[in-house]
Chains A and B, each alone.
Chain A
Amino acid sequence: MKIHEYQAKQLFSEYGVAIPKGGVAESADEAKAVAETLGGFPVAVKAQIHAGGRGKGGGVKIADDISEVVKHADAIIGMNLVTPQTGPEGQPVKRVLLEKGLNIENELYLSLTADRENAGILIMASEAGGMDIEEVAAQTPEKIIRVHVNPLAGIYPYHCRQAAFGLNLEKELIKPFSQMLTALYKLFVDRDCSLVEINPLVITQEKQLYALDAKVSFDDNALYRQKEVVEMRDFDEEDPIDVEASKYNLNYINLDGTVGNMVNGAGLAMAVMDTIKLAGAEPANFLDVGGGATAEMIENGFRLILSDKKVKAILINIFGGILRCDVLARGVVKAARNTEINVPLVVRMEGTNVEEGRQILADSGLDLQTARDLKDAGEKVAALV
């Protein structure tokens, strides 16, 4: 789960990580009122959407007086912001963050991530602040300092020193940097984060450290124990079809092709998408109904697939283990009747009670083809689109 920059900065503030003086506004009038409390200019006006690259799309502006604050806020709030990360359709901006400018001397990069390879927390730091870290990693990997923290032991001063010396920090900054990094680590663990990123981390001319930007995301598996985090979720930032799928407990991802498909199990679902492609067609979605799919889930799965008007045919592939084929077949028949499926259907079933399942489909009077095996299924459905 992702949150906005201003929400991430609220969290930073709670943990004692310095952020620029600022506030959020949902209108130009509010923006004016917030800017007047900041005690000076310049003021940064920053669009609050989840996607990165906001500056490139015109979503971040600097105001030198109050009239510019109003002008920029008015232009940004309500705009459809297109960045390299939003895709061409863009994302509407509902609010801006206003922040007092800093006397920037230097910009650094700092992040903490859940590192699957080492089953630990990985601190990454770089003197190349303000740049895309993946670009830095590709072009000048020696500029990235990596420090691994064992989650059982937690963070120690030597981890912080390793990062600080790697960044060539001036002596007087080592202690405040270590405090900041320790606080960020605590935030990461307390709130079950998957990413905490500050890019850039700013050193001011007054030798102070500030998080000029903030990006925080969370482990979806841990949301059950993070009630405050869940309250920060912004559904407007998510694809409505994804929100609907998560309501039904289905793993659905919309794609560009024309062959809808429904599969039990994530790995098999990916392999079925690949099979469709190999047969010469393109998958319209990824949909994993899981091992314990019920007739209701199958029905909801059909609804999701059919809500995509590009879909010209549907392939159902179920390997019945725990989910018996006869149960699945009854679910398909019921769902097909309730949702008025108006595209041809290819069904491939295998596993427990498969004969019974095939009989139920054959007797249903539904317009569907059955496939012998996966290869046959891919070829049959590709021939339909």
Chain B
Amino acid sequence: MDLSALREDFPLIAGQPDLVYLDSAATSQKPRRVIEALKRFYETLNANVHRGAYRLSAEATEAYEEARKRLARFLNASPNEIVFVRNTTEAMNLVAYAWGLRNLKEGDEILVTEMEHHAGLVPWHLVAGLTGAKVKAIPLTEEGRLDLSALDHLLTERTKVVSLVHMSNVLGTINPVAEVSRRAKEAGALVVVDGAQSAPHLPVDVKALGADFFALSGHKMLGPTGAGVLWGRYEVLEGMMPFLGGGEMIREVHVDRSTYAPPPQRFEAGTPPIAEAIALGEAACYLMEVGMERVFAHDRALLEYALKRLEEVPSLKVYGPKGPDRGGVIPFTLGRLHAHDLATFLDQEGIAVRAGHHCAQPLHRRLGLAATARASFYLYNTQEEVDRFVEALLRIEAKYRAWL
């Protein structure tokens, strides 16, 4: 699946041919269209939304609501189920506080997985601390998949929430969310999906997933920082109290009490990230025009090519499952070299990878590793870049043999 012509759409990629950017799992680069959408908003449309009784505000509102429709189309959802937030982290906190705090009590259980990003863990820890609920985790198999056999004893009538990552930001594992959702629903639990990695890289149909919430970060899917989405099933959103209170989310306010707007406005207190949401809508359009099937096929082709070529590096160890249920993320170590030193060596070769625990400390504990380096692919990466990555690793291995 050759998408290399698209590289020209990305000013940073096109402008820095010596850079091999393999850190899209942290944040993606932005196409010109998205950057221009931000600029265009401030130059031609800037006004606050949902309040001004003048033309400019109406146009800004229309553009903002159009972005909501685009994100709804991107996820196969209804626009009134799309809540604009800052990022996945904020979306997860919204669910934990607005739903969890009011529905959980002592003895209840929140079921997560051992491969969660901290954004899928810490909000639940905070709410568990306030409610007396307990957080339990679905363990992993040796290959880095969810051990679904454990659901038999982990899913009980005490389980009120199942919160899981769709695609691991470390291992690339794509979890069978629809199957987990079905079983969680049978047990009567709410299902929350961290889609930070899946939304940018695979076709996502929230209806098919069968979950109640799906969170994504715009900046990982070609959008600007500062705008993300919480999709929530409308009936669930409708039954919830707000997360943050303030302007724009109200129906009627008295000095001592207030009533709230229907979703999604109920969850968008204060002036939202208007320009960013509009630019995120542009990013979603760009991805839909390329086609998410093609994006995924491109990532997969690079992954397979890279895994094959990385076998040429004797001291290299890669982690993560082998099979079609894996996105374009490769965690790796080189001999005994610490991941940070390795990332510094690669940086000197012009190759940008992340090193550390990637906000997944429990997963690294499970792998028995303090840290890994991580290469992640996106639609603008090429086979030639994978070659440069592998050749750099071979040079590092030869030069720093004593360090391995």
A binds B: no
